[in-house]
Every structure is written in C-alpha cells, then in structure tokens.
Amino acid sequence: MIESKMNARRDFIKKTTIGTAALSVGGFFSGFGTRAYAGIIGANDRIRVAMMGVNSRGLALANNFSSQSNCEVVYICDVDSRAADKCAGAVEGKQGSRPKIEADIRKLLEKKDFDALVVAAPDHWHAPAAIMASQAGKHVYLEKPASHNPREGELLIATQKKYGNVIQMGNQRRSWPNVAQAIQELHNGIIGKAYLAKTWYTNNRPSIGVGKTAAVPGWLNYDLWQGPAPRRTFKDNLIHYNWHWFWHWGTGEALNNGTHMVDLARWGLQVDYPTKVTSAGGRYRYQDDWETPDTQIINLEFSDKSMITWEGRSCNGTPVEGSTVGVIFYGENGSLQIEGGNAYKVYDLKGKLMKEVKNDVTIDARNLTDPSQALDAIHIQNFFEGIKNGQKLASDIGSGHVSTLLVQLGNIAQRSGGLLETDPSNGHILNNKEAQKLWGREYEKGWEPKV
C-alpha cells in the first residue's frame, strides 16, 4: 500500500515535470562556475521536504534545500525549540513561506503532505529515522554516516529493498564534478594501478571537560533527543555537538569526517569489503569525558592487494600533504591527490606535478556546518532526479553502507583489541566474539528499528 502510494506520487511528479536539467559529470558540468552551481534549477513541480535535526549541519541543509527552485521545505523537526524556530525563520527568508514545526518525528511521519525527509540529527538517529520514514512512504536524504553501527546499515538496505523508496547518503563529494573527474582519471589509469589510498582529517578541537548532571533545559526535549538510545542522565557537556565523542550516541572522528574521505578512497580503488582491519590510537590530548579516539590510524586491507589508511587527529591541526583533509592515491606510475575541495593534482613517481585541476568554488573544510553549499546542491538535485525520474544516485544506500562500514570496522577494531579479520564478501567479522558484540547495539524499549 505504501509502495503504491509512493509510485503514484512519483508518476504524478514525472507527468508534471517540465524542462528538468540532466545532471551528469559530462558536458553539462564543463566549465561550471560559482554562479552556475548556485543557480541549478529543476522541475516546476516542487518536491516537499521535511528537515530533521537543524541545529548546525541540518540548518545548512535546510538553507540549501530551500534555495532550490524545485523544492519547498514544509516541516522542521527538532527537539530543540530554539533551533527549530531559527531554522524556520531562515527557510522563510529563502523561500517566502514558513515551514511548520513538529518536534516528534513519529507525529511528523503521520503527515501526508510531504515527499522526503532529510535526516541530520545525531548519529544514533540516522538509521532509525530513515527506516521509519521509509515505512511511512517517504524518500530519505541521509547525512553521513549511514548508521550508528553495522547492523543498522544492513537494516537500511533491507528497508529500501522492501519499500522501493529513494535513499541518498550525504557524502556530497560523490557529486562534485572535478572530484568525479579525478576518480574517472584514476580508473582510466592516469597513475597506473592504484594500490594505496591514504586519507586524513586534522583539527584543533578543545577539551569538552567533565560533565555535571544538570536539569534538562526548557528548550530541549531530551527524551526525544535520545530516541532509540537507552536512557542516560543529562549532563551539561553533551548537547550540542559533543555527543560525537560518546560511543552511546556518536561514532567519533572516524565517521564524523573520515566517512567522506574513506568513501572517496573506496571509490577510487574500486573495492568494497576488506579482509583485514587494524586500528591504533586513543584519547591522548586531554583527560576529560571524550570517549572516542582523538588520535587514530585505521588500516584496511583488501584481497586485490590494495589498502586504505585513515589518519584522524582531532586535537592537532597540522596539515597532511599540505591539506587539513584529503585523500591521496599511490599507484605504479605516480600519485593523485584530492584535498578538501573540488580540485585534484597528479604527480609522477618523483613528486613532480604533472596536472592540476583547481577549485572553482571556495571550500572551507573545517566549517562544521556548511563547507560547500554550492557544490552540495548538485548532490541534492541528484536526489531529486532519483525521486522524479529514477536517475542513478551518486550515493545510494548500498554504496553508503559499505563506505560507512569500513570506518565502523576501524572503530570496532579499536575497541576490541586492534585487529579484525573480515569476510570479503560482506564485511562480517570473523573469529572474534568480543568484536562481533559491537556489530549492533541495545535500544530503548519500544524504539527498536525493524524492517
């Protein structure tokens, strides 16, 4: 019944679409400048969107979605009443109409007058919200990481197969034209066979201190914020943002920023599941409540004799290879580097620069909320085209799950002794019962995600 309603809505949008631009990495993007990126327009019929989680990254996404001429943001869903009001006002300034506010995602998903849910809530909400939205007949734009744990990623794939909706993961670099061109050059053999991809992210994050039990602020529905996670007492150094560094809700720097670069590495090397995963690191810089590593090196080995490494330094911002974030591929005949922006460089074996494609849009890789709005609009439009015309997604949930899983395996290795052997057909952990316990998680009673 849900699927038939979704198909009917999709057919309606198809019939009313006029002059939809084709979004591909080919000729349409040749010579794209900043104005062209900002001015992407699509169909006359607008896709109606609800935004979930709008304090920081979600606010940036709401501004971006509401700036698209073929989209209308009709609902804001956030457990922080201040963030919801601020976002509703910002969206009204962009599109001329004020979205309605609904704090409870369950009540929001009962509403029939929107097509897609954008999920930018904390990590422990990503997969459960996407599953709930799919079951309610909605399409989903899901910020990375795809899930809090590997089992949730598998549930997401099963959900999408069951309901047939569109789920796009927000690893937006998959849609950036020059990045896509770099990966294509790599696949065409510009440096011969690539066998090692080194990825990294650096920052200078301060200590989060030692939290104290405190009364829940009046502007926050803490019970709904926790949602599917088992209940814990509110502390004054958790919300907002610091939840990233607690295993109960977050996934650490590896999935917070590593997912983007590891995804590019996997795309470039054309690999899926590893055979061996190691991780070393810890909370080194400060002694506080921060649980996940602030310093971490993950190694992922694959059966085709290739390897991905991830280096995360949350509390020392010294650049790697001249950039605070990036991936560099090493091959038989040279190397290819993609930094934080829509650009790349190719070097020979002696390190001589052989080719450079420069940024045509300014990127601030350390901007926590909106480093690349103009470029990200391409990813958003790809999502819309997937809904309207069945266009191939730049990052469908199957691909998004695999890239998310790679860094999840790194974290599981980190938490269970440092070494995992994995099944190269599906990424499952072999011969390690302690590590296998971290494949999923416990849920608050009544909140368990089910397909």
- Is the residue at 24 inside a domain? yes
- Alpha-carbon span 114 to 107, nearest angstrom: 13
CATH number at residue 312: 3.30.360.10
130-149: pLDDT as tens digits: 999 999 999 999 999 999 99
pLDDT for residue 372: 72
Confidence band of 363 (pLDDT split at 50, 70, 90): low
Confidence band of 373 (pLDDT split at 50, 70, 90): confident
CATH number at residue 17: 3.40.50.720
pTM: 0.89
- Is the residue at 444 inside a domain? no
Residue 342: C-alpha distances to residues 36, 65, 315, 338 (Å): 14, 20, 25, 8
Hey, which residues does 220 pair with through a beta bridge?
A: 80
- Alpha-carbon span 175 to 366, nearest angstrom: 20
Range of the structural domain that residue 12 is part of:
2-175+376-396
* 341: amino acid identity, one letter: G
Hey, which residues does 213 pair with through a beta bridge?
A: 235
Q: What share of the chain is helix, strand, coil (3-state, %, to 5)?
A: 35, 20, 40
Position with higher pLDDT, 251 vs 367: 251
Length of the chain as a residue count: 451
Number of domains, the chain: 2
What DSSP state is assigned to residue 68?
S
| Tokens representing residue 310 in the block | 């991830």
Residue 332, CA atoms < 13 Å, CB-side half-sphere: 7
- Alpha-carbon span 34 to 24, nearest angstrom: 17
Alpha helix ranges (H) inside 249-295 = 252-256, 258-269
- Alpha-carbon span 103 to 75, nearest angstrom: 10
Same domain? 164 vs 252: no
Same domain? 298 vs 428: yes
In the chain, the N- to C-terminal Cα span, in Å, equals 15
84-117: pLDDT as tens digits: 999 999 999 999 999 999 999 999 999 999 999 9
pLDDT for residue 367: 54
